[in-house]
Amino acid sequence: MLKLLLASLALTLSACNPAPSEQETTSPVTDPDREFTSDRLIKPLGGDGIREAWAQQTLLHRVFIQKYDSTDKAGRKELRGELDKVYFTANPIIQQNFEDAIEEDPNEPANYVSYGYYLLPKRDEYENSLKYIQKGITMEEDNPAWQFLMAYAYVAPLRCGDFYRFGSIDQLRWKRYEDRYELVMRRAARMWPENWFVPYFMAVHQYRVDKDIEQCWEDIVQGNSREEGYFVFVPPLPLTINKWGAVADRDEFFDLQWHLGLYSYTAMQHMVEAMLDDEEFAGDPERLWQVLLFLFQASETRPLDRIYHYHIGQALEALKNCCEQMGDAEKVQKLEQALELYDGISATLRHEYDLSGLPLSGSGSSDDPELLTIERSCRRQENIIEPVLKLHTRLLKQVREILDFSAGDYPIVTPQWEKE
């Protein structure tokens, strides 16, 4: 509590630590014999300083979010100043923890990348943050997670916890860093050929900036063909996590966990809807199946919400309509049975987990603000995730059988990436 009080008081200070110089960024002091090994993707990285920094940020987040959730709309307006201090103002005491970690071990890339990601959404710190992330990359260029996190930093929403900074800065960032994003993202895709998270992210971002459905489709099909979907984190959490229970201290870093790995939800939503409305997609059962598979597997790399359930319902309805247009009454009847299973999953979410606003069968408006309320509710109830993923696995297997697709030709990678 004392640390929390000190961190809160320090928010009023204006101290700022300098970024690495251009020379430091391009010429890190590191062991020339250092080589990346795959175990660095699955174990915690970085020094005690970054662990302490993110633990303090999580404490600040929890205190604020309790206030925010317990007040009304007028009360939330009064909390805007505190919100800005907790999430979008760099805290000098927390910064000092990062600096201490770097001083203690200047040859550990995780210390620089983690500091850069702390600074990423802070006001007037964006360029500074990129320098720290780039510094880490140059120290371990063969680590695919660093490559992805660098690309993500160029285009990611400036997000902390539940909150974002919006504005013209997004367009300015894209104009300035488009070429660098493309270069680093393609490099990450080449270096990580098993990870579907990378092409899925590429698809969603492609729709966000260009709305090129065919290019998005190519990325989705590429992602669907991959065997694993790693949700990429920032140290001190392991860079990849394939089972939530394996990270015993993740609760200490909840605010960090909630920062990262997210697709742009609005872009993802509009991309899926554009595909389902497109004549070529709407008349092709195989394409609609690939959309279903994308939604299911993408949901595994965004493990703290169930908003994907809504879009799975939309895709199922589109598939039923497609079979009706083709005059295949038997498949229509079987898909209606699959939609009954879908409605049962919805009922489980609504009643067992008290998510009363969840729409059934993909009905209801995708612009309904209640959907985002549901998303936040789901993300704060981690116990929802694993049972619903298992139900969705069962649902997709049922749909695959209805379409007469073989498991060998159309595999589903189940939760925790256990391939059939």
Is residue 24 domain-shared with residue 153, that is, in the same domain?
Answer: yes
Q: Which residues of 52-86 are buried (b: 16+ CB within 10 A; e: fewer)?
A: bbbbbbbbbbeebbeebeeeeeeeeeeeeebbebb
What is the number of alpha carbons within 13 Å of residue 399 lying toward its C-beta?
33
Higher pLDDT, 81 or 259: 81
Residues 293, 180 within the same domain: no
Q: Please give the residue that has the higher pLDDT: either 138 or 263.
A: 138
Rounded Cα–Cα distance for residues 167 and 218 (Å):
30
The residues that bridge with 418 in the sheet, in sequence order, are 414
Q: How many folded domains does the chain comprise?
A: 2
Pair 175, 269 in one domain: no
Six token digits for residue 349: 């979410």
Q: Which of 137, 171, 192 is a domain's end point?
A: 192
In terms of average pLDDT, the best of 302-311, 357-366, 390-399 is: 390-399
Pair 153, 300 in one domain: no
Burial classification of residue 404, based on how many CB atoms lie within 10 Å of its CB (0-12 exposed, 13-18 middle, 19 or more buried) = exposed
A 10 A CB-CB count for 217 gives 21
* Candidate from 182-186, 236-240, 273-277, 322-326 with smallest mean pLDDT: 236-240
Residue 418: the pLDDT is: 55
179, 270: one domain: no
Q: What is the pLDDT of residue 27?
A: 38
Burial 256-281 (b: 16+ CB within 10 A, else e): bbbbbbbbbbebbbbbbeebbeeeeb
* Average pLDDT over every residue of 126-155: 94
Residue 7 lies in a domain: yes
Note whether residue 278 is domain-resident: yes
The backbone torsions φ and ψ at residue 116, rounded to the nearest 5 degrees and listed phi first, read: -60, -40
Residue 159: the pLDDT is 81
Long-range contacts of 347-350 (CB under 8 A, 24+ apart): 348/387, 348/388, 348/391, 349/306, 349/309, 349/378, 349/384, 349/388
Residue 295 domain flag: yes
Domain annotation covers residue 216 = no
Q: Are 105 and 111 in contact (CB under 8 A)?
A: yes
Mean of the per-residue pLDDT values for the chain? 82
Q: What is the distance between the alpha carbons of residues 312 and 318, in angstroms, rounded to a whole number?
A: 10
What is the per-residue pLDDT across 180-230, written as a single tens digit (0 to 9) for each?
999 999 999 999 999 998 999 999 999 988 899 999 999 999 999 988 888
Q: Tell me what pLDDT residue 293 has.
A: 94
pLDDT the model gives residue 356: 53
pLDDT at 103 over 70: yes
Q: Is the pLDDT of residue 374 over 70?
A: no
> How far apart are alpha carbons 355 and 335 in whole angstroms?
25
The residue written with tokens 């009954």 in the block is 340
Domain co-membership, 175 together with 287: no
Q: Are residues 41 and 177 in the same domain?
A: yes
Count of other CB atoms within 10 angstroms of residue 208: 19
Rg (CA), the chain: 22
- Whether the per-residue pLDDT at 162 is higher than 80: the answer is no
Contacts of 236 (CB under 8 A, 6+ apart): 44, 45, 46, 50, 51, 54, 110, 114, 253
Residues 164, 53, single domain; the answer is yes
- Is position 130 within any domain? yes
Rounded to whole angstroms, the Cα distance separating 311 from 332 reads 19
pLDDT the model gives residue 230: 81
Co-location of 141 and 269 in the same domain: no
Q: Domain range holding 165?
A: 2-192
Judge whether 241 lies within some domain.
no
Indicate if the pLDDT at residue 1 is higher than 50. Answer: no
* Token pair listed for 410: 């159309």
Range of weakest confidence among 135-149, 191-205, 351-365: 351-365
Q: Give the pLDDT band (50/70/90) at residue 381.
A: low
Instruction: Note whether 169 and 68 are same-domain residues.
Output: yes
Same domain? For 125 and 274 the reply is no
Above 90 in pLDDT, residue 12?
A: no
- pLDDT surpasses 60 at 357: no
Q: Which helix (H) or strand (E) holds 272?
A: helix 265-277
Cis, peptide link before residue 238, omega less than 30° from 0:
no
Is this prediction's pTM over 0.75?
yes
Residue that finishes a domain, picked among 130, 165, 192: 192
Of the residues 192, 219, 249, the one at which a domain ends: 192
276 and 187 housed in the same domain: no
pLDDT of 250 > 80? The answer is: no
Q: Stretch 20-32: mean pLDDT, rounded?
A: 47
Asked if the structure places residue 381 within a domain, the reply is: yes
In this structure, what are the phi and psi dihedrals at residue 210, rounded to the nearest 5 degrees?
Answer: -125, -20
Tell me whether residue 148 is in a domain. Answer: yes
